[in-house]
Amino acid sequence: MKKLIISAVTLSASPAFAASGPFFSLRNTDFIVVLAFLVFVGILLYAKVPAKLAGLLDRRAAAIRAELDEARALREEAKTILASYERKQKEVLEQSDRIIASAKDEARAAAALAKEDLGRAIERRVKAAEEQIALAETTALRQVRERAVAVAVAAAGDVLAKQSTAEWTAASIDEAIDQVGAKLH
Protein backbone atom coordinates (compact mmCIF):
# COMPACT_ATOMS: atom_id res chain seq x y z
CA MET A 1 0.00 0.00 0.00
CA LYS A 2 2.81 2.36 0.90
CA LYS A 3 4.45 1.61 -2.44
CA LEU A 4 1.27 2.68 -4.17
CA ILE A 5 1.29 6.02 -2.37
CA ILE A 6 4.96 6.60 -3.11
CA SER A 7 4.55 5.78 -6.79
CA ALA A 8 1.50 8.07 -6.99
CA VAL A 9 3.44 10.91 -5.41
CA THR A 10 6.43 10.31 -7.67
CA LEU A 11 4.33 10.26 -10.81
CA SER A 12 2.45 13.37 -9.90
CA ALA A 13 5.66 15.25 -9.00
CA SER A 14 7.31 14.75 -12.34
CA PRO A 15 7.84 17.96 -14.33
CA ALA A 16 5.71 16.77 -17.24
CA PHE A 17 2.59 16.78 -15.11
CA ALA A 18 3.35 19.83 -12.99
CA ALA A 19 1.32 22.91 -13.29
CA SER A 20 2.93 26.32 -13.51
CA GLY A 21 4.91 27.38 -10.49
CA PRO A 22 6.44 25.42 -7.67
CA PHE A 23 4.98 21.94 -6.92
CA PHE A 24 4.52 22.39 -3.17
CA SER A 25 2.21 25.33 -3.49
CA LEU A 26 -1.52 25.43 -2.77
CA ARG A 27 -1.96 27.05 -6.15
CA ASN A 28 -0.63 23.99 -7.91
CA THR A 29 -3.62 21.78 -8.77
CA ASP A 30 -1.49 18.66 -9.06
CA PHE A 31 -0.26 19.13 -5.53
CA ILE A 32 -3.83 19.62 -4.29
CA VAL A 33 -4.95 16.45 -6.06
CA VAL A 34 -2.03 14.45 -4.60
CA LEU A 35 -2.76 15.89 -1.17
CA ALA A 36 -6.49 15.00 -1.46
CA PHE A 37 -5.59 11.52 -2.63
CA LEU A 38 -3.27 11.00 0.33
CA VAL A 39 -5.94 12.25 2.75
CA PHE A 40 -8.48 9.88 1.13
CA VAL A 41 -6.09 6.93 1.42
CA GLY A 42 -5.37 7.89 5.01
CA ILE A 43 -9.07 7.94 5.86
CA LEU A 44 -9.47 4.53 4.25
CA LEU A 45 -6.56 3.17 6.29
CA TYR A 46 -7.85 4.77 9.49
CA ALA A 47 -11.31 3.23 8.96
CA LYS A 48 -9.60 -0.13 8.31
CA VAL A 49 -11.35 -0.46 4.97
CA PRO A 50 -8.63 -2.71 3.48
CA ALA A 51 -9.00 -5.13 6.41
CA LYS A 52 -12.76 -5.09 5.99
CA LEU A 53 -12.42 -5.66 2.26
CA ALA A 54 -9.98 -8.49 2.93
CA GLY A 55 -12.45 -9.96 5.45
CA LEU A 56 -15.27 -9.72 2.94
CA LEU A 57 -13.10 -11.29 0.27
CA ASP A 58 -12.03 -14.05 2.71
CA ARG A 59 -15.66 -14.77 3.61
CA ARG A 60 -16.58 -14.82 -0.07
CA ALA A 61 -13.63 -17.14 -0.80
CA ALA A 62 -14.70 -19.41 2.08
CA ALA A 63 -18.27 -19.47 0.74
CA ILE A 64 -17.00 -20.29 -2.76
CA ARG A 65 -14.72 -22.97 -1.30
CA ALA A 66 -17.69 -24.45 0.61
CA GLU A 67 -19.80 -24.42 -2.56
CA LEU A 68 -16.98 -26.12 -4.46
CA ASP A 69 -16.65 -28.74 -1.73
CA GLU A 70 -20.40 -29.30 -1.83
CA ALA A 71 -20.28 -29.52 -5.62
CA ARG A 72 -17.45 -32.09 -5.37
CA ALA A 73 -19.43 -34.08 -2.83
CA LEU A 74 -22.50 -33.95 -5.07
CA ARG A 75 -20.37 -34.97 -8.04
CA GLU A 76 -18.96 -37.94 -6.11
CA GLU A 77 -22.46 -38.91 -5.02
CA ALA A 78 -23.67 -38.61 -8.61
CA LYS A 79 -20.76 -40.79 -9.77
CA THR A 80 -21.65 -43.36 -7.15
CA ILE A 81 -25.30 -43.33 -8.18
CA LEU A 82 -24.34 -43.53 -11.85
CA ALA A 83 -22.06 -46.48 -11.17
CA SER A 84 -24.85 -48.14 -9.20
CA TYR A 85 -27.32 -47.64 -12.04
CA GLU A 86 -24.81 -48.84 -14.62
CA ARG A 87 -24.21 -51.94 -12.50
CA LYS A 88 -27.95 -52.50 -12.18
CA GLN A 89 -28.39 -51.98 -15.93
CA LYS A 90 -25.65 -54.51 -16.60
CA GLU A 91 -27.30 -56.99 -14.23
CA VAL A 92 -30.68 -56.44 -15.90
CA LEU A 93 -29.13 -56.95 -19.35
CA GLU A 94 -27.44 -60.15 -18.16
CA GLN A 95 -30.69 -61.34 -16.61
CA SER A 96 -32.61 -60.56 -19.81
CA ASP A 97 -29.97 -62.44 -21.82
CA ARG A 98 -30.37 -65.42 -19.48
CA ILE A 99 -34.16 -65.25 -19.79
CA ILE A 100 -33.93 -65.08 -23.59
CA ALA A 101 -31.49 -68.00 -23.66
CA SER A 102 -33.74 -69.99 -21.33
CA ALA A 103 -36.79 -69.19 -23.46
CA LYS A 104 -34.93 -70.28 -26.60
CA ASP A 105 -33.89 -73.53 -24.91
CA GLU A 106 -37.46 -74.13 -23.76
CA ALA A 107 -38.76 -73.36 -27.25
CA ARG A 108 -36.26 -75.80 -28.78
CA ALA A 109 -37.24 -78.47 -26.23
CA ALA A 110 -40.93 -77.82 -26.88
CA ALA A 111 -40.33 -78.01 -30.64
CA ALA A 112 -38.44 -81.29 -30.25
CA LEU A 113 -41.20 -82.67 -28.02
CA ALA A 114 -43.87 -81.51 -30.47
CA LYS A 115 -41.90 -83.12 -33.31
CA GLU A 116 -41.72 -86.39 -31.39
CA ASP A 117 -45.42 -86.19 -30.53
CA LEU A 118 -46.24 -85.45 -34.16
CA GLY A 119 -44.10 -88.41 -35.26
CA ARG A 120 -45.88 -90.71 -32.80
CA ALA A 121 -49.29 -89.36 -33.85
CA ILE A 122 -48.46 -89.89 -37.53
CA GLU A 123 -47.19 -93.38 -36.73
CA ARG A 124 -50.41 -94.17 -34.83
CA ARG A 125 -52.54 -92.81 -37.66
CA VAL A 126 -50.58 -94.75 -40.26
CA LYS A 127 -50.93 -97.91 -38.16
CA ALA A 128 -54.67 -97.26 -37.68
CA ALA A 129 -55.05 -96.62 -41.41
CA GLU A 130 -53.15 -99.83 -42.20
CA GLU A 131 -55.39 -101.74 -39.77
CA GLN A 132 -58.49 -100.22 -41.36
CA ILE A 133 -57.17 -101.10 -44.81
CA ALA A 134 -56.44 -104.69 -43.68
CA LEU A 135 -59.91 -104.95 -42.09
CA ALA A 136 -61.54 -103.53 -45.20
CA GLU A 137 -59.51 -105.96 -47.33
CA THR A 138 -60.52 -108.89 -45.13
CA THR A 139 -64.14 -107.78 -45.19
CA ALA A 140 -64.05 -107.33 -48.96
CA LEU A 141 -62.46 -110.79 -49.43
CA ARG A 142 -65.05 -112.38 -47.14
CA GLN A 143 -67.88 -110.63 -48.99
CA VAL A 144 -66.41 -111.68 -52.34
CA ARG A 145 -66.11 -115.31 -51.11
CA GLU A 146 -69.61 -115.27 -49.68
CA ARG A 147 -70.92 -113.83 -52.91
CA ALA A 148 -68.89 -116.39 -54.92
CA VAL A 149 -70.25 -119.21 -52.76
CA ALA A 150 -73.78 -117.88 -53.16
CA VAL A 151 -73.31 -117.54 -56.90
CA ALA A 152 -71.72 -121.03 -57.07
CA VAL A 153 -74.50 -122.58 -54.98
CA ALA A 154 -77.11 -120.84 -57.11
CA ALA A 155 -75.35 -121.91 -60.31
CA ALA A 156 -74.93 -125.45 -59.00
CA GLY A 157 -78.58 -125.48 -57.98
CA ASP A 158 -79.57 -124.28 -61.44
CA VAL A 159 -77.30 -126.83 -63.11
CA LEU A 160 -78.55 -129.64 -60.87
CA ALA A 161 -82.11 -128.58 -61.35
CA LYS A 162 -81.70 -128.68 -65.10
CA GLN A 163 -79.72 -131.92 -65.24
CA SER A 164 -81.34 -133.96 -62.52
CA THR A 165 -84.16 -136.30 -62.77
CA ALA A 166 -86.54 -137.41 -60.07
CA GLU A 167 -84.77 -140.73 -59.66
CA TRP A 168 -81.35 -139.16 -59.32
CA THR A 169 -82.65 -136.67 -56.75
CA ALA A 170 -84.21 -139.45 -54.64
CA ALA A 171 -80.95 -141.46 -54.82
CA SER A 172 -78.87 -138.43 -53.77
CA ILE A 173 -81.14 -137.76 -50.81
CA ASP A 174 -80.96 -141.40 -49.68
CA GLU A 175 -77.18 -141.39 -50.00
CA ALA A 176 -76.90 -138.16 -48.00
CA ILE A 177 -79.09 -139.60 -45.23
CA ASP A 178 -76.90 -142.74 -45.09
CA GLN A 179 -73.74 -140.59 -44.81
CA VAL A 180 -75.20 -138.50 -42.02
CA GLY A 181 -76.36 -141.62 -40.19
CA ALA A 182 -72.91 -143.23 -40.53
CA LYS A 183 -71.10 -140.13 -39.21
CA LEU A 184 -73.41 -139.64 -36.28
CA HIS A 185 -73.09 -143.27 -35.03
φ/ψ of 165, rounded to 5, equals: -115, 175
Query: How confident is the chain (185 residues) per 10-residue block, as mean pLDDT?
Result: 56 53 79 93 92 93 96 96 96 95 94 92 92 91 86 78 74 83 78
Q: Are 3 and 15 in contact (CB under 8 A)?
A: no
Q: Which pLDDT value is given to residue 58?
A: 95
Q: Which pLDDT value is given to residue 18?
A: 46
Q: Which pLDDT value is given to residue 11?
A: 53
The C-alpha atoms of residue 121 and residue 127 are separated, in whole angstroms, by 10
Q: Where are the alpha helices (DSSP H) in the chain?
A: 2-13, 29-46, 49-163, 166-184
Closest-CA residue to 5 (of 36, 46, 47):
36
Burial 45-83 (b: 16+ CB within 10 A, else e): eeeeeeeeeeeeeeeeeeeeeeeeeeeeeeeeeeeeeee
pTM: 0.39
